[in-house]
């Protein structure tokens, strides 16, 4: 619980929006203390950081530093494994009215895991992800969607006790080793793969990276790369969260 909270708090401290708001408060305090120059420079820093993280120039750069090690591979050259492990993070959750849980911008993970399964790369998909008390777990929600996508429930194994990627690795390894399985295809977003791969390998599994959900677009964008957008801000935020998570996990000795 402490580690989960630590990662979240440290991430919040460098999230572009929260950092800019925090700097704005500091600038206001400086202004009340009549430190005019300090207030001005702090305010410039706040808006400058928020603007930079909202541009595709920065978002693509920082995401690229995480993705470039994990290039996609043609389905034909991917060797079979004992199981496909699909990490959570692609769900918004159950909605008040909808019959199926809502997906977020990382839903490519589900599509790619199903594609690997239908290509015969593994006979089983392990769905990972817990949930808050009183709500269905993320693994349970993903199972509903995979059934709609043509994956019968008997080919799905749920790991629904985890709260973070470290828990995913620990609990999944226990489930698979109990069934004599060790070689896995690990499906997650490419920017999240460095940390995930190290965690699952640390549990003694033979891990084949199966990255997906690449964030950098190949096509030219309509808007210039210096123009700020909400989508760029979200992409930068995800990348910064991943960088913080990686170094916290290194500090904890999990990697």
Tens digits of per-residue pLDDT, 234-255? 999 999 989 988 988 898 898 8
- The tokens for 159 are 């790991």
Residue 220 lies in a domain: no
Its domain, for residue 129, covers: 76-94+103-212
Q: Judge if 80 and 54 occupy the same domain.
A: no
Q: Judge if 160 and 188 occupy the same domain.
A: yes
Give the pLDDT mean for 70-77.
Answer: 93
DSSP secondary structure letters along 49-113: HHHHHTSHHHHHHHHHHHHTTS----GGGPPP-SEEEE-S-SEEE--SS-SSPEE-TTTHHHHHH
Q: Judge if 83 and 59 occupy the same domain.
A: no
Q: Judge if 83 and 161 occupy the same domain.
A: yes
Q: Judge if 15 and 135 occupy the same domain.
A: no
Residue 218 lies in a domain: no
Q: Judge if 204 and 129 occupy the same domain.
A: yes
Please tell me the pTM assigned to this model. 0.90
Which of 55-64, 213-222, 245-254 shows the lowest per-residue confidence on average (mean pLDDT)? 213-222
Residue 221 lies in a domain: no
Give the pLDDT mean for 75-95.
Answer: 93
pLDDT at 163 over 90: no
Residue 173 lies in a domain: yes
* Sign of the four-CA dihedral 56, 62, 66, 70: positive
Where residue 11 falls among pLDDT bands split at 50, 70, 90?
A: low
Q: Judge if 207 and 243 occupy the same domain.
A: no
pLDDT at position 9 = 67
Q: Judge if 61 and 128 occupy the same domain.
A: no
pLDDT at position 6 = 60
Residue 223 lies in a domain: no
pLDDT at 1 over 60: no
Residue 225 lies in a domain: no
Q: Judge if 62 and 85 occupy the same domain.
A: no
Q: Judge if 175 and 192 occupy the same domain.
A: yes
pLDDT at 3 over 60: no
Could you tell me the CATH number of the domain that includes residue 128? 3.40.50.620
The Cβ of residue 52 has, within 10 Å, a number of other Cβ atoms equal to 17
Q: Judge if 85 and 7 occupy the same domain.
A: no
- Provide the mean pLDDT of the chain: 91
Residue 9 lies in a domain: yes
Give the pLDDT mean for 177-195.
Answer: 96
Residue 244 lies in a domain: yes
In the chain, the number of structural domains is 2
Tens digits of per-residue pLDDT, 129-145? 988 877 899 999 999 99
pLDDT at 7 over 70: no
pLDDT at position 8 = 64
């Amino acid at each position: 619980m402490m580690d989960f909270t630590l990662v979240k708090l440290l991430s919040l401290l460098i999230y572009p929006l929260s950092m800019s708001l925090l700097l704005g408060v500091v600038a206001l305090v400086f202004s009340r203390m009549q430190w005019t120059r300090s207030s001005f420079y702090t305010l410039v820093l706040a808006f400058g950081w928020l603007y930079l993280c909202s541009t595709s120039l920065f978002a693509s750069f920082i995401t690229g530093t995480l993705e470039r090690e994990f290039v996609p591979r043609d389905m034909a050259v991917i060797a079979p494994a004992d199981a496909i492990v699909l990490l959570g993070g692609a769900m918004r959750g159950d909605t008040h009215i909808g019959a199926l849980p809502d997906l977020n911008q990382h839903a490519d993970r589900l599509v790619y895991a199903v594609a690997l399964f239908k290509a015969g790369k593994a006979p089983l998909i392990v769905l990972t992800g817990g949930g808050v008390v009183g709500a269905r777990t993320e693994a349970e929600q993903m199972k509903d969607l995979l059934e709609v996508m043509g994956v019968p429930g008997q080919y799905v194994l749920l790991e629904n006790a985890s709260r973070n990627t470290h828990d995913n690795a620990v609990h999944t390894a226990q489930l698979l080793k109990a069934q004599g399985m060790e070689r896995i295809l690990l499906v997650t977003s490419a920017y999240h793969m460095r940390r995930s791969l190290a965690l699952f390998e640390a549990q003694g599994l033979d891990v084949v990276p199966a990255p997906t959900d690449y964030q950098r677009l190949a096509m030219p964008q309509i808007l210039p790369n210096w123009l700020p957008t909400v989508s760029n801000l979200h992409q930068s935020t995800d990348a910064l969260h991943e960088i913080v998570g990686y170094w916290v996990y290194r500090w904890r000795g999990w990697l």
